[in-house]
Structure 1
């Protein structure tokens, strides 16, 4: 519900005489806090698995993005894992094939890559704590860090065993190479999984903002969900009645064609809403109204936007 309707209710209440609310109740409307679901990566929508008005449970598939590229990357990563595992298992003998200075140069580059991966991961963790990025971003940076660490470990091992028999050096490198390949495969699998978006909460699908075939951007909602069982009445009370209400108090909510319901006050505005200059004379105080929110115990089939009347 937008601020336009809130202003109408506030203006209506401001012209009522002080005792009128006691007889007719406080006018208001029902409202809910919607959950807006967006993809964690951009792409073309391959399919939408829900419809407006459909009841969904946690974990239900909402929509999926085209994942052809992610499937190809995962297949390539799994192939590298199989190759690295076969090399390690079938290694029988080997010999040093690179000079120590070449290995150290490669190690220096790998260490620089590792420092960058560590900085990216630390920054992602801070942004996640601030709610600025999704958790999947942290997982991706963690996988990249693991890959960089494995690369450094691989080259460090090569330097350490450069003077040892060639077979030992190759075996250590093969083990590190397998670890790096597995980390890359894990990251590719995570990227593929993220192409399918699941419902984070149970409720009813309220709006679909995109259609199949359209491009979806990161952070742009594709689906909005009305959580089940969460509905509140927003109403306005005159300044003369505000002292009689408190957070946690029970009120009665009624509407046309429905039976009275109970609700519990969860919010009581500290600042009044009024259009004239704020001069708190006795006459002006009678025009002040305060926003109050009360969560319904059992909203039933009622929907947001329903006009209601609230009585203490």
Structure 2
């Protein structure tokens, strides 16, 4: 009786173990067809195209922005000045073009003649000043020569007094009087020489100014000749081409000034702001990172046996791991052509050492899911 009970227990145990093993193997096969991945946002950076100091931050982290929205401004004071100069140069060039094709008015000729007359008057006055300066120089030179002679006499007198003092023929007081006379004489001579040098320097400066006036007079007379003759066709073409070139410079200055307002080329959500107000950014620096909440990706790593179940453009269903009732669609965008060893960061319960293939899918997002959430898809449902 006891043996029969033991046999029944053993048979029951074997049945339980077999059933457990069957259920385990069954569950293993199902799990092997499930692949996991994290929702990844479609991210990109906004770059600075010019260097500068950040003047103002116009967005916050987590804020949703539109395409072409200004997200940051740099100090553009120098760029604004350059732009203004370029615009003024453009206006002047346009005026010159109009002037080149328009007849010169009599008033303009009269103004030019008046300017030439004023320059000539200034030159004549400068010549008179040069003559006066030369006269003063001659006087100072004559005075300097006289003081030089007096100084040499005082030097000779002092030398004699020194010899007499050493022999006891004159007193210390007599020698001191001679030394004082020598010092005063030298001081007067040095002062006269400085005046002579200054007078010569003034003459040279006046001559240079007169030379400059001569050049201005020549240029003004040539301009008057051109005004009387009018612009010929080559001069008109040169004026027009110069205006076009300066207009391009003005456009370039405006484009450069606009670059100090950094814009996001695409819309999205601000993920991170990489610089603070007052910091310096260099050309090409990624100042802000964005992601597109409506365009997300998921990467899964599948076994070779499942490759035949998918194709590019195919739509697949995913479940949110924290709430499996929430489902979303994904379209296959890329299937790797070569296998790889399973990356360490991939969620997989077994056999990490096996070769897998990378598959990238673009997800159709809903308001209930966020980047970073774990999702799964069951390839067993594709059979």
TM-score category (smaller protein): 0.5 to 0.7
CA 301–226 in structure 1, closer or farther in 2 if over 3 Å, else same: farther
Are 1:213 and 2:288 matched, yes or no? no
Report 1:62-211 matches (<5 A).
62-90=71-99, 92-93=103-104, 165-168=229-232, 170-211=235-276
Q: Which of 356, 376, 379 lines up with 1:289 in the alignment?
A: 356
Q: Which of 316, 325, 328 lines up with 1:261 in the alignment?
A: 328
User: Aligned pairs, how many?
Assistant: 220
CA shift, 1:300, in A, is 3.0
CA deviation string 1:180-233 (max 9, x = no partner): 221211111111111112221121111111111111122221111112411122
Contact 2:269–2:292 (CA under 8 A) maintained in structure 1? yes
Cα distance in 2 between the residues matched to 1:294 and 1:59: 28
Q: TM-score, normalised by structure 2?
A: 0.52
Q: TM-score, normalised by structure 1?
A: 0.63
Give the SS at the match of 1:35: strand
- Deviating above 4 A after TM superposition, structure 1's stretches of 4 or more consecutive aligned residues are 16-19
Q: CA RMSD in A?
A: 2.9
CA 27–173 in structure 1, closer or farther in 2 if over 3 Å, else same: closer
Q: Which of 20, 29, 32 lines up with 2:31 in the alignment?
A: 20
Unaligned runs of at least 5 residues, structure 1:
1-15, 96-161, 276-283
CA shift, 1:285, in A, is 12
Q: Which of 44, 54, 61 lines up with 2:63 in the alignment?
A: 54
Contact 1:202–1:228 (CA under 8 A) maintained in structure 2? no
Contact 2:41–2:293 (CA under 8 A) maintained in structure 1? no
1 or 2, which has the higher helix percentage? 2
Larger Rg: 2
The residue aligned with 1:104 is: none
Cα distance in 2 between the residues matched to 1:85 and 1:285: 74
CA shift, 1:63, in A, is 1.1
CA 90–234 in structure 1, closer or farther in 2 if over 3 Å, else same: same
Cα distance in 1 between the residues matched to 2:375 and 2:237: 73
Unaligned runs of at least 5 residues, structure 2:
1-26, 110-225, 343-350
